[in-house]
Amino acid sequence: MLSKAQKANDISSLCTGPYSGLALDWQYAVAGIPYPYLLYLRDTGDHGMLLPPEYIEPTGAEVLEGIKAMAGDLTKSMKRGRRRP
């Protein structure tokens, strides 16, 4: 589970870090999607698409909290009139 500090990375760190070249870059730079996003789930590659049952509920809770935080940030940004981060 990530700490709050680790979750606070902004989108620019995703686009220039070790994950550059992902669909996220294309969404932002080519398609012009103003708020692209990428969800990371808690599996570290050990289980692939077959997440063990005991991980499903906490993973869902983490994703929900992340989406709520993103929606809150987008709302604030739109109220300030910003279109792109």
**Ranges of each domain in the chain:** 4-79
- Under DSSP, the state recorded for 78 is H
Q: What is the pLDDT of residues 20-47, one digit of tens each?
A: 567 888 888 888 888 788 777 777 778 8
The count of other CB atoms within 10 Å of the CB of residue 62 is 17
Q: Which position has the higher pLDDT, 43 or 50?
A: 50
Give the global pTM. Answer: 0.55
What is the helix (H) or strand (E) element at residue 40, kind and residue range?
none
Q: Give whole-number Cα distances, 44 to 19, 39, 41, 71, 77, in Å.
A: 15, 13, 8, 26, 32
* Average pLDDT taken over every residue of the chain: 74
**CA 4 to chain centroid:** 13
